[in-house]
């Protein structure tokens, strides 16, 4: 297995999460209504809208753990290494689709949030499985190095705008998934 460059694929998942969910590099709330940026919506509504992708990710992880005794481990399904990153990337791009009118904004936002949440949830499980199988000394190198690479990728994404930045960030889950064994 070794410390080949492909082992640093977790850094792309980390960078994607930072860009999409935490740093506001990709701020999806504007899709629904400009009112989301104001304080006119109830706190619970703002929380649900802001947290939908994260809630979907947590629910996906919970579902996978609950069904593991019956369905087996996610990492034992090679297709998940392709499907999960693809779903996350498509969801990322969907946040920015030009819409014919605002009536599509909420359904597209919900679909994109579910896709990014479900895709990333399965990817966290896949990377967790990877790290559980490698020697501890490799983990001690890969984890902090991946975090440093993720920081550089996040910094690079902040220098981009428009579709170039979106495509750059949307490629992160795919690159991460291609790095899984």
Interaxial angle between packed helices 162-178 and 136-158, expressed in degrees from 0 to 180 and rounded to the nearest 10: 170
Q: pLDDT value at position 62?
A: 97
Q: pLDDT value at position 35?
A: 44
Closest by CA to 20, choosing from 44, 62, 56, is: 56
Q: pLDDT value at position 119?
A: 97
* Distance in angstroms (rounded) separating the CA atoms of residues 157 and 58: 26
* Distance in angstroms (rounded) separating the CA atoms of residues 151 and 145: 10
Per-residue pLDDT of the chain (181 residues; tens, 9 = 90+): 556 777 889 999 999 998 887 655 555 555 544 444 545 657 777 677 778 888 999 999 999 999 999 999 999 999 999 999 999 999 999 888 887 777 777 788 889 999 999 999 999 999 999 999 989 998 899 999 999 999 999 999 988 888 888 899 999 999 999 999 7
What residue segments make up the domains of the chain, in order of their start? 68-181
Start-to-end C-alpha separation, the chain:
9
Q: pLDDT value at position 98?
A: 80
Q: pLDDT value at position 107?
A: 84
**Which residues, including other chains, have CB under 8 Å from residue 110's CB and lie 6 or more apart?**
52
Closest by CA to 81, choosing from 178, 169, 6, is: 178
């Amino acid at each position: 297995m070794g410390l080949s460059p492909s082992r640093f694929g977790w850094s792309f998942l980390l960078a994607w999460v930072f860009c999409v969910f935490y740093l506001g590099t990709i701020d999806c709330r504007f899709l629904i209504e400009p009112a989301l940026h104001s304080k006119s919506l109830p706190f619970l509504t703002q929380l649900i809208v802001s947290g939908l992708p994260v809630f979907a990710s947590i629910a996906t992880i919970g579902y996978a753990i609950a069904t593991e005794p019956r369905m087996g481990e996610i990492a034992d399904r090679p297709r998940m290494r392709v499907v999960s990153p693809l779903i996350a990337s498509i969801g990322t791009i969907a946040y920015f689709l030009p819409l014919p009118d605002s009536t599509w904004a909420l359904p597209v936002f919900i679909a994109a949030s579910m896709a990014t949440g479900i895709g990333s949830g399965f990817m966290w499980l896949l990377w967790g499985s990877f790290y559980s199988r490698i020697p501890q000394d490799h983990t001690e190198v890969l984890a902090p190095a991946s975090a440093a690479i993720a920081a550089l990728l996040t910094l690079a994404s902040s220098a981009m705008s428009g579709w170039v930045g979106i495509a750059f960030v949307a490629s992160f889950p795919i690159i991460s998934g291609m790095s899984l064994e």
